[in-house]
Chains A and B, each alone.
Chain A
Amino acid sequence: MKISNFYDDDDMPSMEARQRMWNRISQSLSTKKQAHFFIETRSFFYGMVASVLITLCGVGLYSTVGGLVSSENENKETEAYKTAIREFEKVVPSKISLQSNQYEIIQDKKQHIAMIDKEIDKVNKEMSSPEFAELRRITLRQLYHTKLSIILSMIDNGEMEL
């Protein structure tokens, strides 16, 4: 059994009421759609900012790794200087030609080398501290370079016997 005459006319929505409700519903739906668009726009901009940040991070990472690689090369260079000096020192056991009339100059150069060694020791001791590590590495390399140059010039000038 289904009751067909249950509702009165008063129970039904008037045409105006139907229209009024629909207007409010459509208005509410369009507002929600706009809000949805706004959220999507905001997400888009967040995405853009995020991608820029990621790019910058990538560049930073690349530079850091590049720096590490280059400092690794510099370390290798320093090591090469050290090895060369060590080898020369092994081959030339500080036999200074006494016949040379440039005895004082040789003494000066030896003194110079001793000072450089002292500086190298000092810088090596400070290498454990992270502060100015890069600067110390450069200084160390320059010291080894200078020491090697002096030794080579002494060999060239015959101030050292091979």
Chain B
Amino acid sequence: MKMSEKEIIEKAKKGNNKAFSELYKTHVTRLYRFMKQCGSRYSNDEIEDIVQRAFVKAFTKIDTFEHTSSFSTWLFRIAMNELRSDMRRVSLVTLEAIADEIYDYEDEHADEFVWNMAMKEMLNELSDIKKSVFILYEVEGYSHAEIGHILGMEESSSRSLLARTKQFLRKRWILSKEIDL
């Protein structure tokens, strides 16, 4: 019988190595690919290092995890903090500067947004925070509340950032089509 994630976490809290391995297998790909998008300036080795550090932190502090959020939300938050501390170290643009702003923006044309793979390139023109919100919501399927928890911001900020990102992508897409014509 397959164990639930909650049961696996409880086993991991008791120091069960198999439970750690199970949690790693379940979440590593999802975390790695997201971190690779967020930390697009980083090499594969550096992304590996951040992901590995996030797992070590999560596993060593697992007894503090109280199931108030999903394990992946908690893990993503730890990983984002690791990425932020790295960014601070190398003096790259920090995520907090944008995250601290108050947003009350709603895109009236949000429903008109249709994803196109060509937009992936355009995402790189955006700040890390906007890119992160977009991927977490549109690709990874997190709610705005969960994104707020992962990125350390208000739920409303996540909502506004997503709307702005979508508006940017839509406009940028229309512009690129016009240029092609």
Contact = CB atoms under 8 A, between A and B. Distances in A.
B20 interface: yes
A21 B135 CA distance: 23
A20 interface: yes
Contact of B56 (A11, A17, A25): A25
Contact of A1 (B15, B44, B117, B138): B138
Interface footprint category on B: 20 to 34
B52 A29 contact: no
A32 interface: yes
B28 interface: yes
Interface stretch (B32-40, B64-72, B88-96, B148-156): B32-40
A26 interface: yes
Given A17-B44, A21-B48, A25-B55, A3 B33 contact: no
A33 interface: yes
A22 interface: yes
Contacts of A7: 33, 37, 139
Contacts of A28: 52, 56
A12 B29 contact: yes
A11 B21 CA distance: 22
Contacts of B48: 13, 17, 20-21
Given A17-B44, A25-B24, A26-B17, A3 B60 contact: no
Contacts of A125: none
Interface footprint category on A: 20 to 34
Nearest to A13: B32
A25 to B, nearest CB: 5
A25 B139 contact: no
Interface in A1-59: 1-3, 5-7, 11-13, 17-18, 20-22, 24-26, 28-29, 32-33
Given A11-B36, A17-B44, A1 B115 contact: yes
Interface string B4-47: 00000000000101001100100011001100110000001000
B23 to A, nearest CB: 10
Given A6-B135, A12-B29, 11 more contacts: A6-B139, A11-B32, A11-B36, A11-B37, A21-B55, A22-B21, A24-B52, A25-B52, A26-B17, A32-B60, A33-B15
4 nearest A-B residue pairs (beta carbon): A13-B32, A11-B33, A6-B139, A21-B52
6 contacts: A2-B141, A12-B29, A13-B48, A26-B17, A29-B17, A32-B56
